């Protein structure tokens, strides 16, 4: 038998072995069950159900094309060191300090094969930008790695981690501490799968009961800017989930300005939480970086037309002050939650200011005008959410499990509104016209799911509606047959080219197959 056949035989045998045993193997590596090894492997394929339109690149992608074949594996170690602290000399100081310690480590391995085996458009995009896309399509990361130390009211989590504050799902308000990776699945991916862990020092102190307030906790975090200034990556031009942006007309070149690794670019924040008369309350202030960059024309050196024009995409920092609350209302048996956050001096796009263009005396197709040096204006935003969660019995549909129904309304108001404010994706076919940002924006989300067949089948529906006329629909079903998972998901965006509506030509059906190590 050749080597290749043996490899297939090994894989086949392992799959049969696991399937026949009917359950995954236990993965505690010690008799005291303090050291656990676990993980999962997943492959996900998505097929486009619409033809590309407008500025979406590559243009030839059409119905039936494979747009995603992503394989990802997580290997995870969790180790509770409390017992070892008493036995291992190097850890004894932790015992003397009466610290409870454990650590958590996750390795992530990702490969996107669509740029090798997908439609010609993606393969051509790779050839045009080989180094960048070859780097983009794969990653092998120490994904999470942190240690927990606690003693009495003190708790510290130090290392590479995710942290989410606030009360929102689907979209983020007080939950923008970690950047998001929208490059490999866009907004169709679960929010948590898109979070990028950061090297962070985080701590909390339980102040206990103070007067009428229970469980009062002060929490803080710091991502030293000279350790980690990761921001949301941008999908290279021509990749499946890149924003619908036109190629820059020559001589304009693009460059992305990432925050420098400097202490001044640290993320940091503090939060106070507690419960008062049955209502969970929190107040927070933190500094982070925006998920999306802001464009800016820079001409080097001045003055045009002799200078080199660049379209810079700058990730600016923003400070956010806000609060949230939740409570359970007994008469309606509903959990209500709300959140409000003030975004201070957030960078915005006002084309006349950011990317000023002087029209040519004679119009030349493909050249809208002469770019001039711009600057980035800033505005304060108020963003808020009110939502509810309710478990509902719909017995004709399900006699044994409730339906979880969750709804949210997100609002946004711009302080000192300027009617020239725009979203940073141009309106096809005009490269210099952009959808407007209104003084007040709103989006409604709804989620509903339940369980059938002893929890082995979970249908779910997620909907979003931007009040300016864009709908997101995402029905899915998850199937369980240990140790495998199969998810089938349909994702569609219809309506106007605004908000998430800019991805309205990316409808897809996805199939995700996972194997869980335990």
Partner 1 sequence: MKSLKWLRVLLIVLGLLPFLTSEVPGQEACREVIDKTNWKEIDGRVPDPLMEWVKNGDFVLHVDELTYAPAEYWPSFVLESRAANIGKYALDENDVIVDAKTGELARSVMGIPFPNVDPADPKAAAKVIYNKHYVSFSSGHKRFTTNIAWIGRSGFEREVEGFFIEAYMTGFPGAERIPNPRDIERYNIITVKKPYDLAGTSVMLWRYLSAKDDVNFSYVPAIRRVRRTTPANRSDGFLGSDFAQDDMTGYDGKTPAFEWKVIGERDVLAPYAYTYPIPMSRTQKGEWLMGRGVEGIHYAYQDGNTSVAPWCPMNTVFVKRSAWLVEGKARDPYYNYGTQYLWIDKELWWPVYKVIHTRSGEFWKFLLITTIALENKETKDRLVLAVDQLIVDVTRDHATYTKQVHPSASMTMFAVVDLNDFTLGGFQKYCK
Within 221-280, the residues that bind partner 1 by CB under 8 A are 273-275, 278, 280
Among 59, 60, 64, 208, binds partner 1 (CB under 8 A): 208
CA distance 268 to 165: 13
Among 139, 401, 460, 496, binds partner 1 (CB under 8 A): 401
Among 120, 127, 128, 190, binds partner 1 (CB under 8 A): 190
Minimum Å distance from CB 92 to partner 1? 15
Buried b (16+ CB within 10 A) or exposed e, 263-291: eebbbbbebbbbbeeeebbbebbbbbbbe
Q: Is 317 helix (H, G, I), strand (E, B) or coil?
A: strand
Nearer to partner 1, 344 or 515 (CB): 515
Nearer to partner 1, 455 or 469 (CB): 455
> By CB under 8 A, is residue 330 in contact with partner 1?
yes
> By CB under 8 A, is residue 90 in contact with partner 1?
no
Q: List the beta bridge partners of residue 479.
A: 457, 486
**Does residue 301 have a cis peptide bond before it, meaning omega lies within 30 degrees of 0?**
yes
Q: Which of 489, 451, 449 is nearest to 472 (CA)?
A: 489
Minimum Å distance from CB 456 to partner 1? 7
> By CB under 8 A, is residue 322 in contact with partner 1?
no
Q: One symbol per residue from 108 to 147: x for binding partner 1 (CB under 8 A), - otherwise; what is it?
A: ----------------------------------------
- Determine how β-strand 253-257 pairs with β-strand 308-314: parallel
Minimum Å distance from CB 236 to partner 1? 28
CA distance 4 to 86: 49
Helix (H) or strand (E) holding 405: strand 403-414
Among 87, 120, 128, 192, binds partner 1 (CB under 8 A): 192
Q: Of 375-394, which residues contact partner 1 (CB under 8 A)? A: 389-391, 393
Minimum Å distance from CB 204 to partner 1? 4
> By CB under 8 A, is residue 308 in contact with partner 1?
no
Among 400, 432, 486, 488, binds partner 1 (CB under 8 A): 400
Among 52, 68, 183, 204, binds partner 1 (CB under 8 A): 204
Q: Which of 387, 380, 329, 411 is nearest to 166 (CA)?
A: 387
Helix (H) or strand (E) holding 85: helix 82-85
Among 64, 93, 153, 359, binds partner 1 (CB under 8 A): 153
Q: Which stretch binds partner 1 (CB under 8 A): 87-95, 120-128, 330-338, 351-359?
A: 330-338
Nearer to partner 1, 212 or 366 (CB): 212
> By CB under 8 A, is residue 489 in contact with partner 1?
no
> By CB under 8 A, is residue 4 in contact with partner 1?
no
Nearer to partner 1, 43 or 206 (CB): 206
Q: Is 9 helix (H, G, I), strand (E, B) or coil?
A: helix
- What is the rounded radius of gyration, in angstroms, for the C-alpha atoms of the chain? 25
> By CB under 8 A, is residue 87 in contact with partner 1?
no
CA distance 186 to 68: 11
Among 25, 130, 261, 360, binds partner 1 (CB under 8 A): 25
**Does residue 305 have a cis peptide bond before it, meaning omega lies within 30 degrees of 0?**
yes
Q: Which of 430, 513, 518 is nearest to 46 (CA)?
A: 513
Minimum Å distance from CB 78 to partner 1? 9
Nearer to partner 1, 26 or 364 (CB): 26
φ and ψ of 294, to 5 deg: -110, 135
Q: Is 84 helix (H, G, I), strand (E, B) or coil?
A: helix
DSSP-assigned letter for residue 169: S
Q: What is the DSSP string of 446-492?
A: EEEE--BTTTTEEEEEEEEEETTTEEEEEEEEEEEETTEEEEEEEEE
Q: Which stretch binds partner 1 (CB under 8 A): 3-11, 108-116, 222-230, 356-364?
A: 3-11
Nearer to partner 1, 268 or 434 (CB): 268
CA distance 80 to 280: 30
Minimum Å distance from CB 280 to partner 1? 6
Burial label, 473 (beta-carbon count in 10 A; 0-12, 13-18, 19+): middle
> By CB under 8 A, is residue 373 in contact with partner 1?
no
Q: Of 37-76, which residues contact partner 1 (CB under 8 A)? A: 38-40, 74, 76
Q: Of 453-482, which residues contact partner 1 (CB under 8 A)? A: 453-456, 458, 480, 482
């Amino acid at each position: 038998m050749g080597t290749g056949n043996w490899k297939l035989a090994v894989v086949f045998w392992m799959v049969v072995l696991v399937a026949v045993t009917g359950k995954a193997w236990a993965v505690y590596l010690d008799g005291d069950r303090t050291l656990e090894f676990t993980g999962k492997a997943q492959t996900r394929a998505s097929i486009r159900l619409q033809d590309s339109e407008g500025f979406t690149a590559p243009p030839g992608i059409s119905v039936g094309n494979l747009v995603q074949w992503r394989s990802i594996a997580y290997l995870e170690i969790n180790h509770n060191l409390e017992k070892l602290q008493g036995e291992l000399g190097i850890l004894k100081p932790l015992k003397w300090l009466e610290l409870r310690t454990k650590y958590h480590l996750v390795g992530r391995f990702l490969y996107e094969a669509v740029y090798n085996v997908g439609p010609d458009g993606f393969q051509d995009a790779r050839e045009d930008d080989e180094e960048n896309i070859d780097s983009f399509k794969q990653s092998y990361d120490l994904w999470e790695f942190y240690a927990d130390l606690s003693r009495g009211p003190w708790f510290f989590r130090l290392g590479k981690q995710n942290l989410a504050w606030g009360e929102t799902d689907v979209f983020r308000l007080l939950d923008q501490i970690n950047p998001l990776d929208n490059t490999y699945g866009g907004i169709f991916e679960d929010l948590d799968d898109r979070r990028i862990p950061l090297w962070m020092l985080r701590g909390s102190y339980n102040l206990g009961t103070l007067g009428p307030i229970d469980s009062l906790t002060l929490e803080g975090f710091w991502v030293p800017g000279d350790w980690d200034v990761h921001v949301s990556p941008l999908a290279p031009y021509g990749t499946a989930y890149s924003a619908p942006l036109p190629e820059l007309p020559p001589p304009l070149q693009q460059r992305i300005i990432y925050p420098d690794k400097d202490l001044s670019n640290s993320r940091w924040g503090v939060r106070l939480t507690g419960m008062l008369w049955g209502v969970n309350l929190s107040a927070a202030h933190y500094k982070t970086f925006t998920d999306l960059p802001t464009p800016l024309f820079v001409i080097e050196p001045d003055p045009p037309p002799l200078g080199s024009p660049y379209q810079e995409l700058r990730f600016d920092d923003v400070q956010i002050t806000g609060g949230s609350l939740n409570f359970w209302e007994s008469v309606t048996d509903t959990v209500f939650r709300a959140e409000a956050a003030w975004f201070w001096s957030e960078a915005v796009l006002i084309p006349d200011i950011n990317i000023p263009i002087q029209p040519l005396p004679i119009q030349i197709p493909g050249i809208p005008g002469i770019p001039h040096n711009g600057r980035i204006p800033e505005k304060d935003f108020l963003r808020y959410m009110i939502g509810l969660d309710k478990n509902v019995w719909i017995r004709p549909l399900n006699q044994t499990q409730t339906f979880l129904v969750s709804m949210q309304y997100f609002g946004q108001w711009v302080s000192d509104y300027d009617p020239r404010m725009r979203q940073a994706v141009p309106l096809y076919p005009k490269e210099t016209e952009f959808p407007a940002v209104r003084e007040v924006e709103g989006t409604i989300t709804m989620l509903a799911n339940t369980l059938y067949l002893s929890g082995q089948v979970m249908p779910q529906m997620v909907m979003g509606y931007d009040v300016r006329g864009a709908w997101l629909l995402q029905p899915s079903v998850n199937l369980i047959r240990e140790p495998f998972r199969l998810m089938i998901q349909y994702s569609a965006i219809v309506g106007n080219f605004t908000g998430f509506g800019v991805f309205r030509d990316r409808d897809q059906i996805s199939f995700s197959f996972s194997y869980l190590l335990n």
